[in-house]
A and B are shown apart, each in its own frame.
Chain A
Amino acid sequence: MKKWSKDDIFSVLESLLFSSDKPLKISDFLSSMGENFKGAEIRDYLDQLSKTYQKKNRGIELREVAGGYQLVTKNENKVFVQCLKKRRPFQLSKPSLEVLSIIAYQQPCTRAEISQIRRTDSGHILRRLMDRNLVSFAGQSEQPGKPMMYKTTQKFLEVYGLKNLKGLPSLDDIKNEFLPEDSEENRVQFNLEALSENVD
């Protein structure tokens, strides 16, 4: 059996991360490096590796995204990287982003539900989002006619750098942003929070 030094482990982890075009799960590392490691151990090494990338003189970072780990260039350097990219940068139109957000918060949801929120048909946008692999089918609804339901994909999490859907800002927080600061609803919420803290 191969004897692993710490340096070996870091080196292999880095190679695996560099070679992959999608986030690597802990199980991917385990299946590549053999079963003599534990998941927690790998996670620990990855955290250490991540710390070395956080130094100011490094241009890449290790991020935890879509249930895995991925090496990406640093956001601060985007202007320079963009210069060399021939492909157009990833971009969604405002309506597409809105439909994507509705699905992200309401999933699984049907096309009719999305259209009801927007009060306009969203079929063409849905199709485009599916073509870009940001949205996929999520089974059929029990509603009459059994319409298809939609959900966001792993690719969605990956593109927006989310570990999981819980990483999205809550819709309530967004709603609160629109309330005047001393509105009754805000005050009630604040009081409730204060109360629950006292209970703890």
Chain B
Amino acid sequence: MEFAIGTFEGPLDLLLALVRKEEMDIMEIDIHRITQKYLAIIQKTPQLNLNEGGEFIQMASTLIYIKSRSLLPQEAEEILEEEGPSKEDLIQALAQHNYYLKAAEKLNERPSLNRDIWTCCSSMDFVSVESEEIQADGLFSLIGAFRKALKRAYTFKIKISLPSVFEWIHKIQSFFIKGKTRSFQQLIRQQKSTQKEEHWSSVHQILLSFLSILELGKLGVVTMVQKDKDIQIQTHREIDEKIFYMLGKDLSFDKPSKAMRKGSVVQ
């Protein structure tokens, strides 16, 4: 089994997993073996960033400290007694973490509302409607009240998946015929007739089309001239593989498969 730091919630979690994997007893961990295994995992992690990995590095230093202490003769150990973390502290922390994990497991085993059992009003939201007065203790009760008010307010987030500009050009490429001049209005009208089944609003389509011709303009595929309230688009070359390759680079897509990834817009 390969261990990666990213999958663990903090260094204790990783340490506990290692103890289990090595089939050790928490109360009698082999500090030499566990330190070795722990450091091997830390070293394997490329670019451990200090913000996320700081706790893991701190634990590594604790382990090394405890390990080095255990190598000292008994007398020196006694002198050092009051300083720094001891093996017992570590065992205590691990055991405590383990107890709470067990407690969490037990909690999760209970029949839970809206998972195993339901009330007649289970479709209601997880928001209490108890009224509570803002106490005079200032900032935090105000934050609490604000959170509650926010929960009660009706907010809607509508997520629409929009195609990326890259995909959009793919979609409308038939519009661009070498040597022909057509107007932006025609482009929009063509989409309206073919894209009826799509759920994006026409505003999105227009926006995407506009961005698309700008991109194509940049690559020299088309030139644009504004005429009255419309744009005349003159196509100079076919949109072929090469253009898509350049587009992909331009829009910072490495591979075509990645290019098919959908962008999303939150309204």
Contacts and interface: CB of A to CB of B under 8 A. Distances in A.
B118 interface: yes
Nearest to A148: B140
Contacts of B141: 137
A118 B12 contact: yes
A160 B26 CA distance: 30
Contact of A175 (B99, B116, B117, B120): B99
Contacts of A73: 117-119
A119 B113 contact: no
A71 B120 contact: yes
Interface residues of A, number: 57
Interface stretch (A30-38, A48-56, A101-109, A191-199): A101-109
A97 B108 contact: yes
A23 B113 CA distance: 12
Contacts of A160: 107, 110, 112-113
A50 to B, nearest CB: 15
B95 interface: yes
Interface string A58-87: 000000000000111111001001000101
Contact of B117 (A72, A137, A140, A154): A72
Contact of A130 (B26, B111, B112, B147): B147
Contact of A171 (B9, B59, B99): B99
A159 interface: yes
Contact of B106 (A81, A85, A131, A169): A169
A85 to B, nearest CB: 7
Contacts of A161: 110-113, 117
A133 B9 contact: no
Contacts of B10: 118-120
Contact of B128 (A104, A121, A155): A155
A190 interface: no
Contact of A91 (B98, B115, B122, B127): B115
B96 A90 contact: no
A117 B99 CA distance: 11
Contact of B119 (A71, A139, A178): A71
14 contacts: A71-B119, A72-B119, A73-B119, A89-B114, A89-B115, A94-B104, A101-B107, A118-B9, A118-B100, A119-B93, A131-B147, A137-B140, A137-B144, A148-B140
Interface of A: 18-22, 70-75, 78, 81, 85, 87, 89-92, 94-95, 97-98, 100-102, 104-105, 117-121, 130-133, 136-137, 139-140, 148, 153-155, 158-162, 168-169, 171, 174-175, 177-178
Given A155-B126, A159-B112, A177-B102, 20 more contacts: A22-B128, A71-B120, A73-B119, A75-B111, A78-B116, A87-B114, A90-B112, A97-B107, A98-B9, A101-B100, A104-B107, A117-B93, A117-B96, A118-B12, A119-B97, A120-B11, A132-B126, A155-B128, A161-B112, A171-B99
